[in-house]
Structure 1
């Protein structure tokens, strides 16, 4: 919301109105705001859950000391979701398809998690939401994400290309000057790291590209489902997902910041007119 307010204030040449144009400022403001929400409201939410006696229902797995975890406040994921969504809604560019997908995915899986905890607490059912409903929800989200990436004109990429340096005859990796729509993904730590899914569907002849996109969607569904279940399994008895999520969050923040800077720089290069 503030992103659009500042954009509107730019028309009146108000000092500081262009701050929201800088990714560094927006990412820093989002970090401070999320920490503020987690610290200030998180403690109050936990105290409220304890007052309401909303505690964890522990399944007897035969582990030593596991029953000591009974009564540990559950539904703490609400704190994480608030710390993510509120800064995004206030500071983020909500016209960006990636931002929309992130918000939808957070709300979607957050709702699944809430239902799981609610069933455990309200119905005293230690199994929570049935596994088949979780899988349906995760696969449904993966399908939405995959199809959005297929059909959205904003989801494009810069293909890597090999260019030979004439002076020393070394091959360097650079980028095509134009964005393209392609069913490719990036393979980390590989020199020429664009992998085209259509390569695996060449046997389909003229439908190879279509087959590549179908395979792309299936892989997206698998990644979303596996990641979501991986977080659930990691959480376990001791809330291990908190620490691992923090590490993952830092890594994603760095990649988002660098990726945003690249996109913004490309935008400036397109908008720049020599001599203007």
Structure 2
């Protein structure tokens, strides 16, 4: 909005030339989202607490120590979405199709998560929406977003998969690109959801991944930098840096209230929408495999669940004391802050490895 209003005035007033720079608008989106989170946080949390009416939303399949968190409201992702969407709309180029696609996925997945969390809050139902219903909604939104991406991306890239560490290599997936894109978006969404089990555990790795993809988006969307780094240039994708900046700001603001002991939980509203957003950004920037590296912590948590379920069904034995993986370490006696901080460290290491793919080609 500000870009459309103020950038055209740059020829007459030099100060408005700032709005033509992605870096300035990315910083503006980050700070705007942070301020919105700080200002609206107490109000949103109080409203959620009133809606909950003392009902417990703690799942039954978690370690016993989680019972002490009963009464903490969920659906805190609603605060993230408000800050993220408002700041993005304020600072983005409204004519950019890619950012509208990512906003569609974010808002759509957020609505699915909101419905799930709302049932938990108001209906005293700790399970919320059925898994099948959520999955159908996610697939439908992802399929629409994937088709839109192929429609606005140049034919040489629209249905192709880029491989990290290899330059000038594109695998043309053809019609298979659509189900592949759906798998990436839905998989990323549910992987973040599985990771969101301890105070502050998921939001910081999301913030780290968003920061990395903000940098990647900026490089991929710049013809000079993408050529120098031998990346596949995707015209217009640089605008996603603004969106990623807004994620970082909104996540920082939410962490203020989600830090142990949490005043509010992210809930499916936040985890599904943020994970879906990261998946959609990776599709646009042609860095789907890099997302699996940068978001390796989310992959690890998901794999732990798959291994646990598969092992129990085939052998009747459990590999982990409890899945996802963070619950395993809780069962082993690790303190919650220890698990959270060590997982943050792992997320940072994986992010550095993922970013190294930009140069090692």
Mark yes or no: TM-score above 0.5. yes
Query: Where in structure 2 are the equivalents of 1:121-140 lying within 5 Å?
Result: 121-140=121-140
SS in structure 1 of the partner of residue 222 of structure 2: helix
In the TM superposition, residue 239 of structure 1 has moved relative to its aligned partner by: 5.2
Tell me if 1:245 matches 2:221: no
Aligned residue in 2 for 1:219: 180
SS at match of 2:68: helix
Q: Show structure 2 runs of 5+ residues with no match.
A: 227-232, 236-361
Separation of aligned partners in 2, 1:221 and 1:76: 26
The alignment status of 1:196 with 2:172, answered yes or no, reads yes
For residues 62 and 18 of structure 2, the distance between their equivalents in structure 1, rounded to whole angstroms, comes to 56
**Distance across 2 between alignment mates of 1:83 and 1:189:** 35
Instruction: Tell me if structure 1 keeps the 8 A contact 2:104–2:145.
Output: no
Residue 36 (structure 1) aligns with = 35
Residue 105 of structure 1 corresponds to: 105
Higher strand share: 1
CA deviations over 1:184-206 (Å, ceiling 9, x no partner) = 12111224432222xxxxxxxxx
**CA shift at 1:244, angstroms?**
1.9
Give the conservation status (yes or no) of the 8 Å contact 1:34–1:87: yes
- Relative distance call for 1:237 and 1:56 in structure 2 (3 A) is farther
2:159 matched residue in structure 1:
183
Query: In terms of mean alpha carbon deviation, does 219-228 or 63-72 score higher?
Result: 63-72
2:197 aligned partner: 236
SS of 1:65's partner is: helix
Q: Which has the higher helix share?
A: 2
Structure with larger Rg: 1
In 2: Cα distance, 1:240 partner to 1:56 partner: 21
Q: How does 1:1-276 map to 2 (within 5 A)?
A: 1-10=1-10, 13-53=12-52, 57-61=57-61, 63-152=63-152, 155-156=153-154, 180-197=156-173, 212=174, 214-238=175-199, 240-262=201-223
Distance 1:112 1:182, change over 3 A: closer
1:94-140 deviations in Å (ceiling 9; x for gaps): 21111111111111011011101001111111110111111111101
1:44 to partner: Cα distance: 3.2
- Change over 3 Å in CA distance of 1:53–1:129 after alignment to 2: closer
Inter-CA distance 43–255: structure 2 relative to 1 (3 Å threshold): farther
1:156-199 per-residue CA deviation (whole Å, 9 max, x = no partner) reads 27xxxxxxxxxxxxxxxxxxxxxx454212111224432222xx
The Cα RMSD (Å) is 2.4
Q: Name the TM-score, length of structure 2 as normaliser.
A: 0.58
Q: What's the TM-score, normalizing by structure 1?
A: 0.74
